Amino acid sequence: MGKIVTREELLDIRKQLRREGKRVVFTNGCFDILHRGHVEYLQKARALGDVLVIGLNTDASVKRLKGPTRPIVPQDDRAAVLSALSAVDYVCYFDEDTPYELIKAIVPDVLVKGADWAIEDVVGRDVVESAGGVVKTIEFVPHRSTTSIIERILNAHNQLMQQQ
C-alpha cells in the first residue's frame, strides 16, 4: 500500500496506529499548485506528531469551493506530488466541501489548520477535542499562495499578449 489511500484503508491504518500509540496529525486542503508555503506548513504540521494525514479535496470539491477555473492541477497529480513529500505519510481524498466526515471517521490526535482560521472555527474541532485531542494553527509563509502564483502567470501572459 502506498501513501495515497482510500477512506476505508485509512480507517484500518488509523486502528493500527492507535494500537502502536502513534500520534496522528491531520490537515486538509486543496493544495493546488504546490508551493513553498504548502511545504513549510506540512513540515510544521508533521512535527506535531508521528504521522501526518492529509485530507485532499477532490476536483469536484475544489471547483465548488474555488470556482469553475479551479483546480489547475488534477486531484491525482496533486495527491502524487503531496505523497512524494517526506513530511506526508498518507493522503486521502474527500469529496465533501469540508473534511468533517473524514475527521469524524479517523479522529486524529492533532488537527491542524492555517493561522487564518480561528481555532473555534476549525471544522472537526468538536470531534478532536471531545476525544482528548488538540487543535493547532500554523502561520503561513508570507506572500506564498496559489492565488498569487496564478495572478503572476496571468499578468505575464497579458504582458506577452500586449507585446504582440
Return the DSSP state at 119.
G
- Length of the chain in terms of residues written: 164
pLDDT of res. 21: 98
Q: Say if CB 80 and CB 34 are below 8 A apart.
A: no
Q: 29: which 3 cell numbers?
A: 486542503
Query: Can you give the residue ranges of every domain in the chain?
Result: 7-163
**Predicted confidence (pLDDT) per residue in 89-113, tens digit:** 999 999 999 999 999 999 999 999 9
Q: Is the dihedral of CA 95, 115, 34, 146 positive or negative?
A: positive
Would you list the DSSP string of 14-53?
A: HHHHHHTT--EEEEEE---S--HHHHHHHHHHHTTSSEEE
Global pTM value: 0.90
CATH number of 7-163: 3.40.50.620
pLDDT of 67 > 80? The answer is yes
Average pLDDT, the chain: 93
**Predicted confidence (pLDDT) per residue in 24-34, tens digit:** 999 999 999 89
